[in-house]
């Protein structure tokens, strides 16, 4: 991007642009195509939504509801997630530790 | 009230930025950052739909997804550290030790 030998002649600008876009143009085109498909499908879909966001004026936070959900309805994924965290931590430490010589 | 299409559009834009970074970058840490961008775009979708449907389950699953993203980042950086100890580089073009 910020080359040291940047020159403001036409050929310099064109060369800089070419060097910038040559390894990136395929990625840019693919990402823009993906984004256009997603945006068109988002705009032309009627999403089901409530008309008015539910608000409890006494307690506007939803921390209590989230905590209740975690420990009642969704407690099984919570426990599974604890095992996943523990095993990934053990795996990361095992891989990063090396042979134990140093 | 903000229409929900704006949240989903923001999520799509962030996901596309992550996709672009994943396809063009050759540094391992930059690719991990792009993966984090894509995961956080999914989190924005989860929280937006949860809030607009008056159902808290999506926000709980956003929390779970954040924890899984932490696991993935830890494992990814550990793998990159092991590769750097072995090869001295994390440029993914020069790493082909899993090639058949």
- Here the ipTM equals 0.81
pTM given for the model:
0.83
The answer to whether B54 and A50 are in contact (CB under 8 A) is yes
Percentage above 70 pLDDT, chain B:
100
B49/chain A closest Cα distance in angstroms: 8
Residues in chain B within 8 Å Cβ distance of A67: none
The pLDDT tens digits of the residues spanning A50-91 come to: 767 666 666 667 888 899 999 999 999 999 999 999 999 999
Among candidates B54, B67, B82 on the partner chain, residue whose Cβ is nearest the Cβ of A96: B82
A9/chain B closest Cα distance in angstroms: 28
Q: Which two tokens stand for residue B56?
A: 């808290």
A84 near B CB under 8 A: yes
The answer for residues whose C-beta is within 8 angstroms of residue B71's C-beta and 6 or more apart is A84, A85, A88, A89
Strands (DSSP E) found in B12-64: none
């Amino acid at each position: 991007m910020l080359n040291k030998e940047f020159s403001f002649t036409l050929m310099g600008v064109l060369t800089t642009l070419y060097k910038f876009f040559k390894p990136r143009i395929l990625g840019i085109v693919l990402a823009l195509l993906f984004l256009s498909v997603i945006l068109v499908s988002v705009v032309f879909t009627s999403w089901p939504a409530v008309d008015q966001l539910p608000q409890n004026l006494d307690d506007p936070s939803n921390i209590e509801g989230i905590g209740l959900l975690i420990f009642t309805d969704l407690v099984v994924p919570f426990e599974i997630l604890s095992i996943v965290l523990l095993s990934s931590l053990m795996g990361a430490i095992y891989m990063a530790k090396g042979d134990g010589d140093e | 009230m903000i229409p929900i299409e704006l949240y989903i559009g923001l999520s799509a834009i962030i996901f596309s930025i992550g996709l672009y970074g994943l396809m063009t970058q050759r540094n391992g840490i930059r690719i991990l950052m792009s993966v984090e961008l894509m995961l956080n775009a999914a989190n924005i979708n989860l929280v937006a739909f949860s809030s607009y449907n008056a159902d808290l389950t999506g926000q709980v699953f956003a929390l779970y997804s954040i924890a899984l993203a932490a696991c993935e980042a830890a494992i990814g950086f550990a793998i990159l550290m092991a590769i750097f100890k072995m090869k001295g580089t994390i440029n993914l073009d020069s790493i082909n030790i899993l090639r058949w």
